[in-house]
Amino acid sequence: MKVAIVTGGSRGIGRQVVRWLATEGFAVVVNYAANQDDADLAVKEVVEAGRRAIAVRADVADEVAVAALFDRAEQAYGGVDVVVHAAGRTVLAPIADLDLADLDDLLRVNVRGTFVVNQQAARRVRAGGAIINFSASAVALAAEGHGAYAASKGAVEAITLILARELRGRDVTVNTVAPGPTATDGMMDDRDDVAIAQLATQPPLQRLGTPEDIAEVVAFLAGPASRWVNGQVVRANGGIV
């Protein structure tokens, strides 16, 4: 039995990743930070489909909590084969105006959180497994207002490549998925119709991405067809960059 941990698995892209990995036969550990109801619903959906899943709360930037998350996965299912680190935070503001308290929180979740989760994954993922982080196409787009967010995701990309090299000989791949504008509930709720329409015109494919689009890329990177893809950033954005 293959086992996957999905951080941020209770909502948005993470929730769709949970669905896809469960469909691919993984037992899934759904990590969440605060919203237990959403996590329980994600688990219920998987279990009702005849698959295995549990929900485990953990702050991804807390090394003790993350170690306990991995312990729980090993206790429940015997090991860990895939780690999808989808948890993250978005803060958008011009560099001159950004509240430094917001910067500290952003870096704690996106940079320290990625480092802590990847540290445990590097120690525990079994041979033949995969570690999949989440960046954002904002790193390459370098749009105004995205300075702090893009910087945090640039750090994720650096961690990914270096960890891929450090796991030499382990038969564990490490890659990053960098979505473009994606129609998650959070994104749709934070923008008006005009802003959403403008975002949808950016890709040559002339639409927003969907959580399903991104989850399919993750499922590929988690599966056997991608074993020669390692240390890469897959920009799943419809051709924006």
Angle (CA) 52-53-55 rounded to 5° is: 165
204 burial via Cβ count (<10 Å: 0-12, 13-18, 19+): exposed
Q: Residue 94 to residues 105, 139, 141, 167: CA-CA distances in angstroms? A: 16, 15, 15, 37
Q: What is the CA radius of gyration of the chain?
A: 17
> Is 149 a catalytic site residue?
yes
96 burial via Cβ count (<10 Å: 0-12, 13-18, 19+): exposed
CA–CA gap between residue 224 and residue 152 (Å, rounded): 30
Which is catalytic among the residues 121, 149, 150, 218?
A: 149
Q: List b or e across 150-180, with b for residues whose CB sees 16 or more CB atoms inside 10 angstroms.
A: bbbbbbbbebbbebbeebeeeebbbbbbbbb
Total residues belonging to the chain: 241
Contact 78, 3 (CB under 8 A): yes
Residues annotated as catalytic (active site), given as ranges: 149
